[in-house]
């Protein structure tokens, strides 16, 4: 069969409606190949999503650390500036 089917029902319909005399084992072999292709696509998609998730976690962690560092620096600068102010007693 040369057409690409999008789902199992279409595959069976095309296979059996065109008068094919292939036996069921060949049909099942093709279905197994198709399912293996779909499985590989899904696994690749999962791997991509996991990679993107790890990248986002690293990005967020870096931003959180940077924000924390910036807030600590700001607080320490404020304290230093306060210490420089003249005391008006």
Domain containing 49 equals 8-84
* pLDDT band for position 1 (cuts 50, 70, 90): very low
Q: What is the mean pLDDT of the chain?
A: 79
Residue 28 in domain: yes
How remote is the C-alpha of 27 from its chain's centroid?
33
Structure tokens at 89: 């007693």
* pLDDT band for position 42 (cuts 50, 70, 90): very high
Residue 3 in domain: no
Residue 48 in domain: yes
Q: Which residue has the tokens 């996991």?
A: 50
- Compute the residue count for the chain: 89
- The pTM score is 0.49
Residue 72 in domain: yes
pLDDT at 74 over 70: no
pLDDT at 69 over 80: no
What is the structure's pLDDT at 2? 47
Structure tokens at 55: 């990248």
Tell me how many helices (H) and strands (E) the chain has: 2, 0
Instruction: State how many domains the chain has.
Output: 1
DSSP codes joined into one string, 46-73: HHHHHHHHHHHHHHHHHHHHHHHHHHHH
* pLDDT band for position 56 (cuts 50, 70, 90): very high
Residue 2 in domain: no
Residue 31 in domain: yes
């Amino acid at each position: 069969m040369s057409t690409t089917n999008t789902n199992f029902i279409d595959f069976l319909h095309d296979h059996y409606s065109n008068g094919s005399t292939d036996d069921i084992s060949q049909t099942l072999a093709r279905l197994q190949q198709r399912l293996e292709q779909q499985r590989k696509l899904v696994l690749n998609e999962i791997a991509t999503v996991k990679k993107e998730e790890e990248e986002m976690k690293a990005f967020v962690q870096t931003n959180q650390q940077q924000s924390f560092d910036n807030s600590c620096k700001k607080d320490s600068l404020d304290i230093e500036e306060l210490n420089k102010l003249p005391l008006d007693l």
